[in-house]
Homo-oligomer: A and B are copies of this chain.
Amino acid sequence: MGAKLEKIRAGGVCTPKGFRCSAVSCGIKTPDSDKLDLALIVSKHRTVGTAVYTQNEVAAAPVRLSLQYLKTTEPRAVIVNSGNANACTGPAGIEHARKMASATAQALGINRREVQVCSTGIIGVPLPIDRILPRIPELSEKLSEGSDDAARAIMTSDTKPKSIAVKLTVGGESVRIGAIAKGAGMINPQMATMLCFVTTDAAVSKAELVAATREAVDLSFNRISVDGDMSTNDTVVVMANGRAENKPITRNGEGSRAFRDALNFVMLSLAKKIVSDGERVTKMVEVQIRGAGSQIDAERIARAVANSKLVKCSWNGEDPNWGRIIHAVGYSGARVKEEMVDIYFDGVAAAKNGISTNAAIGDLLQVVRKREFTVGIDLNIGKGAYHVYTSDLSPEYVEFNRAEYAAHRQK
């Protein structure tokens, strides 16, 4: 964190000036429960905004609609439900997403296209739209400056809400960035939805906001996506309303680096929280590759290791099994000289030149017994480097993910 970046305790999306939030319980997650499952985030004032959506060819209805709206209009509000992804729901799904946008726009007195619509939850089940629409006016009436309820309302299998806010100085003015996020089923978001909503009162040009968002997503949420794949619903929305009244930040202009560092910090903090709170996760592991033939090779290796079922099982078992790691390095598709590969657990060398160092097993065990550690892999053939954040794979994860659809159909 740069010298001028200050973390704000208990901050969230309402920490920046001019943003408000609310949440209600509609019974989408669980009928007849009081679990919050519908949230609204709004800027009182006009904004510039941008979003990054899933790359999945099967994109949920709200993603398709939001993308269409974003092409012509700056987003000023987000309406989001949990408990149902509104994905694989056909033309009715699009209609439902559009109704959520319209009802929100009507309640707020803004244009429908200024609303981004998000959903997360089960796939392939019709959205219970009749539970959602009647509650939207209430959301508008309840808007306040606390974002805790919204952070809770977007949770699915997360065990805790995820919020952050920071303050920095741009051209002598205090500027704030706030965000809430919800996690992936596990570290590999290809099969679980990641949502993140970022607000800032910075005055920032559209071009700079788009570039800064792309950079921050690449360094954070794309580093926990083990295959570079995303779910049907993954969405990051960033809105800036300029209420800090700083001199507008432009691309490569004054304050641009500080703003980007702050945005990177915000997204990386939430990305790490998502890994750490992954379903039944007991370890957070940073896989650091260096010395690869190219950056692309380094990324291939990092993702192969981070995604290997057997490597993840060994971490769950607190087993410093470097053989399984070099195995995954070997099938990554990258250029590898086995006799050059070094593997470290938090700096303790387990293998050098492709063979065991005979490091004291106790030293290696001390590392893998920690909740967080780093696996360093040096290919020693070039300058390619990359890193990803990943988790272990636990029996409880499998247990947790065994049944869902039939249970839902039989409700």
Residues of A within 8 A of B (CB): 55-59, 85, 87-90, 122-125, 185-186, 188, 190-192, 227, 229-232, 308-311, 313-314, 316-324, 326-332, 334-336, 338-339, 341, 351, 353-356, 361, 364-365, 393-399, 401-407, 409-410
Contacts and interface: CB of A to CB of B under 8 A. Distances in A.
Contact of A351 (B88, B334, B403): B88
A181 B348 CA distance: 38
A308 to B, nearest CB: 6
Contact of A398 (B339, B355, B398): B398
B56 A331 contact: yes
A128 to B, nearest CB: 14
Contacts of A402: 313-314, 316-319
A399 B27 CA distance: 36
A353 B90 contact: yes
Contacts of A310: 185, 191-192, 401
A355 B56 contact: no
A123 B361 contact: no
B330 A58 contact: yes
A87 B364 CA distance: 20
Nearest to A398: B395
Given A191-B324, A319-B406, A319-B407, 17 more contacts: A57-B332, A57-B338, A58-B354, A59-B330, A88-B356, A90-B339, A124-B326, A190-B331, A191-B328, A229-B331, A309-B309, A309-B393, A314-B401, A316-B402, A320-B405, A322-B405, A395-B399
Contact of A354 (B90, B125, B403): B90
A52 to B, nearest CB: 16
B356 A317 contact: no
Contact of A88 (B88, B90, B338, B407): B338
A188 B338 contact: no
16 contacts: A58-B330, A58-B331, A58-B336, A58-B341, A88-B355, A89-B355, A123-B327, A124-B326, A124-B351, A185-B310, A191-B309, A317-B403, A319-B405, A321-B405, A361-B410, A395-B396
A323 B405 contact: yes
Shortest 7 CB-CB contacts between residues of A and residues of B: A317-B402, A58-B330, A123-B323, A124-B323, A317-B403, A313-B401, A395-B395
A123 B326 contact: yes
A316 B401 CA distance: 9
A406 B320 contact: yes
Given A188-B309, A326-B58, A404 B319 contact: yes
Contacts of A405: 314, 319-324
A92 to B, nearest CB: 8
A308 B88 CA distance: 18
A333 B186 CA distance: 21
A53 B57 CA distance: 35
A157 to B, nearest CB: 12
Given A229-B331, A338-B58, A314 B403 contact: yes
A398 B406 contact: no
Contacts of A341: 58
A392 to B, nearest CB: 9
Nearest to A399: B395
A320 B409 CA distance: 10
A360 B332 CA distance: 42
Contacts of A356: 88, 124-125
A214 to B, nearest CB: 20
A124 B355 contact: yes
A381 to B, nearest CB: 12
A242 to B, nearest CB: 37
A56 B338 CA distance: 11
Contacts of A59: 330, 338
A185, A188, A397: residue with the most chain B Cβ atoms closer than 10 Å: A397
